Amino acid sequence: MDTILQQLVNGLSLGSIYALLALGYTMVYGIIKLINFAHGDIYMVGAFWGYYVINELHFNFWLALISAMLFCGLFGVLVEWLAYRPLRNSPRIAALITAIGVSFLLENGMAYLFTSNVRSFPQVMHVVRYHLGGVSISNIQLLILVVSIVLMVLLQLIVRKTKMGKAMRAVSVDPEAAQLIGINIDHTISFTFALGSALAGAAGVMIGLYYNSIDPLMGMTPGIKAFVAAVLGGIGLIPGAAIGGFVIGLLETIMQALGFSAFKDAAVYAVLIIILLIKPAGILGKKIKEKV
């Protein structure tokens, strides 16, 4: 029982990171029906920004977290403006290929500027472990879980209670009708990219603190897993993305606990195949028939 509880704690900490990343995927898809495969690399940029401001500007964790969210939010808007906006009326495959291209550009650009070497993330917090029976949990794990949940709740409040959130929901349902009632489509889409990228930036700083290492390719695998989480929960649905992230995190830690660490990635992709075969709309998604 202690082992199960320990893996549950580990899975929730990791799953909260996947959930934050999956939210970016699901919001962008819900608005413009684009799978932004460069989203995982925004997470990498956030980790490097946190590394820079802590080492060079001597920021504490909270300042690094907030500044990474602001920087990645602006960076996400810039990527949308330069790469995706010119292709908004193009076939979806053109935007998808561009997203993959942006991902490679960010990865190789960071490798060129900062080399491909793994860097140790500065430990701005002293690690304290709490023992509850046979379960051990660190203050870093608690911090990641609590911050992630707070950010997810804030996101839900923004989407449900604010004027811009209502505009986002309107655009996701019918962009043409939203434009007719005075909603600025460009501003709404940019705001959506900013929100998703800010969450990815926060995830990057927290995962750097958790694993104590960052590199230019660190966003590739988590980005794909977060996409799986978004599909699993129901892509386009914010609660679904959060649930999918926690499920994928728990699945990974369970595979490690069972001694199948080498197959943990394969298990995640197997889940994607199974969910697409059994329930393509995801856990919370509903099957919608499209008119021809």
CA-to-CA distance for 84 and 73, rounded, in angstroms? 15
Residue 79 belongs to domain spanning = 2-278
- Amino acid at the residue 127: V
Per-residue confidence in pLDDT tens, the chain, 292 aa: 667 778 888 888 889 999 999 998 898 888 888 888 899 999 999 999 999 999 999 999 999 999 999 999 999 999 999 999 998 888 888 988 999 999 999 999 999 998 888 999 988 888 888 887 778 888 898 999 999 999 999 998 998 899 999 999 999 888 889 888 889 999 999 999 999 999 999 999 999 998 888 999 999 888 999 999 988 888 878 888 889 999 999 888 888 888 888 888 888 888 888 888 888 888 876 665 544 3
Would you state the pLDDT for residue 100? 93
Q: Is residue 285 part of a domain?
A: no
Residue 218 is predicted with a pLDDT of 92
With respect to residue 77, please indicate whether it lies within any of the assigned structural domains: yes
Position 2 scores a pLDDT of 64
| pLDDT at residue 1 in the model | 62
Task: Note the pLDDT of residue 291.
Answer: 41
Residue 238 is assigned to a structural domain of this protein = yes
* Total domains present in the chain: 1
**pLDDT on residue 124:** 86
Residue 286 lies in a domain: no
Is 54 inside any structural domain? Answer: yes
Residue 137 DSSP SS3? strand
Domain membership of residue 291 (yes or no) is no
Q: Give domain status of residue 289, yes or no.
A: no
Strand-strand pairing, 135-138 and 129-132: antiparallel
pTM score of the predicted model: 0.90
Helix H, strand E, coil C: the string for 210-273 is HHCCECCCCCHHHHHHHHHHHHHHCCCCHHHHHHHHHHHHHHHHHHHHCCCHHHHHHHHHHHHH
Give the span between the Cα atoms of 207 and 57, in whole angstroms.
20
CA pair distance 160, 225, nearest whole angstrom: 27
Domain with residue 110: its CATH number is 1.10.3470
Q: Which residue type occupies 108?
A: N
The answer to whether residue 198 sits within a structural domain is yes
- C-alpha to C-alpha distance for 39 and 232, rounded to whole angstroms: 17
pLDDT at 290: 44
pLDDT computed for residue 292 by the predictor: 38
